[in-house]
């Protein structure tokens, strides 16, 4: 059981790290114009390594951008809270009640990052040439990891109830 708990803890840490990198790093969309690489994230645009603000044009609707930003940050917060709750529940609650709250926090993180990546896919860079960057891909990978982690928490709660 100790090895299983350690594996779950490592999976949870991996999910938190990927969520933080996807939210903070600067490559949700990557394009090259006139030999200059342009990386765009949910916070700013980086042209040749120099910070610039995101353009205020119809292809960057501000309300959707704020929804993506808020959902990404909430996913990080929920996942970190879930990690602290997981550790606290190991020492305070009895079997059968331990991992429910951690699973709920992970599921909320899963939903939030899915919402952020889905909105970004649907509303941004529709008419631009380029490709999705590593942060966008990490957002979808962290969605998968947080979803798997939340399912494991719920299954583990059921297995320890007896």
Q: pLDDT tens for residues 38-60?
A: 899 899 998 888 888 887 877 78
Name the nearest CA neighbour of 136 among 151, 149, 119: 119
Torsion of CA 112, 74, 28, 152, to 10 degrees: -50
Q: pLDDT tens for residues 111-138?
A: 999 999 999 999 998 888 889 999 999 9
CATH code for the domain defined by 2-26+57-159: 1.20.140.150
**Strand ordering across the sheet containing 50-52:** 50-52, 45-47, 36-40, 29-33, 131-132
CA distance linking residue 74 with residue 128, whole number of Å: 28
- Reported confidence tier of residue 99, pLDDT bands at 50, 70, 90: confident
Strand spans (E) along the chain: 29-33, 36-40, 45-47, 50-52, 131-132
Name the nearest CA neighbour of 5 among 67, 98, 80, 77: 98
Q: Is the pLDDT of residue 162 over 50?
A: no
Residue 100 CB neighbour total at 10 angstroms:
17
Q: pLDDT tens for residues 136-160?
A: 999 999 999 999 999 998 888 765 4
Place of tokens 């997981």: 86
Residue 33: per-residue pLDDT: 85
Return the minimum-mean-pLDDT range out of 15-24, 74-83, 153-162: 153-162
Residue 161: per-residue pLDDT: 46
């Amino acid at each position: 059981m100790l090895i299983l708990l350690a594996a779950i803890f490592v999976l949870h840490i991996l999910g938190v790290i990927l969520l933080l990198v996807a939210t903070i790093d600067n490559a949700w969309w990557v394009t090259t114009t006139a030999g200059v690489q342009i990386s765009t994230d949910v916070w700013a645009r980086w042209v040749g390594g120099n910070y610039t603000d995101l353009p205020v044009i119809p292809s960057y609707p501000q309300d959707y951008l704020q929804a993506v930003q808020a959902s990404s940050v909430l996913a990080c917060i929920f996942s970190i809270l879930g990690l602290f709750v997981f550790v606290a529940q190991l020492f305070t609650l009895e079997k059968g009640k331990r991992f429910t709250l951690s699973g709920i926090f992970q599921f909320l993180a899963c939903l939030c990052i899915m919402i952020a990546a889905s909105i970004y896919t649907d509303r941004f860079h529709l008419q631009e040439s380029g490709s999705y960057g590593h942060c966008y891909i990490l957002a979808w990978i962290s969605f998968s990891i947080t979803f798997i982690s939340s399912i494991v928490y719920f299954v583990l709660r059921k297995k320890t109830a007896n």
